[in-house]
Amino acid sequence: MRAVARGTLDGSDPLVAVFDELALTTGTIADGGAWEREDGRLTSLQRWVATRDPAHAVRAVLGRGAIDATYAVRGDLHELTLLPTGEGRAGRGERQAFERRLRDWAAEYARYVDAVAELWSRLELRPERAEPLLRLLLDETEDDEPLLEPGELELLERIASRKARLLEAFEAGVGGAAGSAAVSRSDSGRPEDDDAFSLQELSRLVYDPLPGALLLELPTPALRSEGFEADGATLRAPRPGLWQAWSSLAERWLAPNPVVLEIQALREEIELDVEQVLALERRAPAAPLTAEEILDAFAESMRGPEIYSVQWRVELPE
């Protein structure tokens, strides 16, 4: 088993501490770690253990309050079952902070959708304005910026402002870029101030029962699995949260959705093709959205699997 911790690298990260304890148990065959630095700053710490007692290791790492974890062996059949308890990993204060900030974010999203819908309506009436305005909107202008007509600059600035506020939900620290905030942490390894979490981080605490990303590399393809995303003998547990929900709802109200296009381009390290965006059919709500509609849709989409289960076969020694 392996754990990677980012951000809290001073030994207070609870998951790394669990691996440190596992390294001292009698079932452990070997253990180790690795670290990475960037510009002289420690950015990643990795811990791993090899064990003869996977059931104990699974309970120690994954069965941490929000999950009932079992590892069963019957002959050559191995089975891992993770059953979320429904309690979540968020404390009361974290849950309240999440609900409060999500309401504000949903209201901002509604205003963003309304602004983009206004732009799409303008372009339906004036299709010749689509190319210059979309180039400006997606920050893909050429050497000479196009001349704008009355009202266009104000609308583009309004959309840009809404986009920036939406993206703050995925930035670490209060209102800053990822990693920019100095955060005071408690003995649990969590920030003492709930507002020091990004909204994305809070959503994971509320909806994701797992303490981190879970990737299973099985010795043989799974005989059956539930709750995991499978690719042959490799399975990955989905990460319920705000980003996953936003990805699945990307074009529920807007098509195309400019901010999602930009995020995808950044994640894939590609340039947006404005010509392709121009060719897409544009769609927006006929009536203004309410924050309640957005909250309901995101709450439903952020729910994770009710169970994670996988069974595989291990060749027994002769």
Residue boundaries of the structural domains of the chain = 2-89+211-233+304-313, 92-205+241-301
pLDDT of residue 62: 85
Tens of pLDDT, residue by residue over 197-213, are 899 999 999 999 998 88
The model carries a pTM of 0.78
Tens of pLDDT, residue by residue over 220-259, are 999 999 999 988 789 999 999 998 998 899 889 999 999 8
Instruction: Find all residues with CB under 8 Å of 268, minimum gap 6, and list them.
Output: none
Tens of pLDDT, residue by residue over 148-190, are 889 999 999 999 999 999 999 987 543 333 332 223 333 344 5
Above 60 in pLDDT, residue 109?
yes
Tens of pLDDT, residue by residue over 51-98, are 888 888 888 888 877 899 999 999 999 999 999 988 778 889 999 999
